[in-house]
């Protein structure tokens, strides 16, 4: 059972590591950076996690655990269009509220998914296949316009995660750090998917 201090420090480390890993990638990050950000000495940090890799793994594990929740919530029994738009909205909220997690994930994928390949073709694919069947049924039933479910999901992921992963570019184009792009993004994405899918 973890003591108070353990909980506090473990949390501080993961928080710091998320910051560091998500902006610098795994190899670009140093244990020292993380330790400093967590307010610990390097050996003290390694007292809680056996290695740099272990911290990264812990972070990814925690992330992947929650990563699919928005998709899981897509309900076959619901109204098709609003179910899908709801999924888009939830994904966009995740980008807004957990941009570092999104970048951590993006870093992994772009670099060839060395650590999470099994997850992609395992859990992820299984769930996507399951929900794809739902989409196909809705299409077959004429409840939404015909669409390739896989590419539908790719669209949703691409469009929502973009606001987290490419956030620097988004702000550069919008012309200011202070503009919150999410309200407009939400309206825009809702429009896109509504137009695409309305039967």
Residues 6+ apart with CB under 8 A from 107: 21, 22, 25, 26
95 and 160 Cβ atoms separated by less than 8 Å: yes
The answer to whether residues 119 and 64 touch, using CB atoms and an 8 Å cutoff, is: yes
- Return residues touching DNA (CB under 7 A): 2-3, 5-6, 9, 29-32, 40-44, 46-47, 50-53
Q: Which does 12 bind (CB under 5 to 8 A by kind): DNA, a second copy, none?
A: none
H/E element, 150: helix 149-165
Q: Rounded distance, CA 14 to CA 87, Å?
A: 28
Question: Contacting a second copy (CB under 8 A), which of 27, 50, 77, 178?
Answer: 27
Pick the stretch among 8-16, 24-32, 46-54, 85-93 that binds a second copy (CB under 8 A): 24-32
Cβ 62 vs Cβ 116: under 8 Å: no
- Using rule CB under 8 A, residue 188 touches a second copy: yes
Q: Which of 54, 66, 73, 110 binds a second copy (CB under 8 A)?
A: 110
> Which lies closer to DNA via its Cβ, residue 29 or residue 161?
29
Shortest CB 16 distance to DNA, Å: 13
Q: Angle formed by the axes of helices 31-38 and 4-28, to 10°?
A: 140
Site for a second copy, rule CB under 8 A: 23-28, 103, 106-107, 109-113, 117, 120-121, 124-125, 128, 147-148, 150-155, 157-159, 161-163, 165-166, 168-170, 172-175, 181, 184-185, 187-189, 191-192, 195-196
């Amino acid at each position: 059972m973890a003591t108070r201090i353990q909980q506090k420090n473990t949390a501080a480390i993961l928080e710091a590591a998320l910051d560091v890993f998500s902006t610098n990638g795994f190899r670009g990050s140093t244990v020292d950076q993380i330790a400093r950000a967590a307010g610990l000495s390097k050996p003290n940090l390694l007292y809680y996690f056996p290695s740099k890799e272990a911290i990264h793994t812990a972070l990814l594990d925690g992330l992947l655990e929650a990563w699919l929740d928005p998709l899981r919530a897509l309900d076959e029994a619901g109204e098709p269009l609003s179910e899908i738009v709801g999924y888009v909205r939830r994904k966009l909220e995740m980008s807004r509220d957990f941009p570092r997690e999104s970048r951590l994930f993006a870093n992994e994928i772009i670099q060839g998914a060395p650590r999470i390949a099994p997850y992609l073709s395992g859990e992820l694919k299984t769930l996507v296949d399951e929900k794809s069947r739902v989409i196909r049924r809705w299409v077959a039933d004429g409840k939404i316009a015909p669409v390739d479910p896989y590419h539908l999901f790719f669209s949703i992921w691409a469009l929502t995660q973009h606001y987290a992963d490419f956030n620097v570019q988004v702000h550069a184009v919008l012309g200011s750090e202070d503009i919150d792009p999410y309200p407009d993004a939400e309206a825009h994405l809702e429009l896109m998917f509504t137009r695409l899918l309305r039967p």
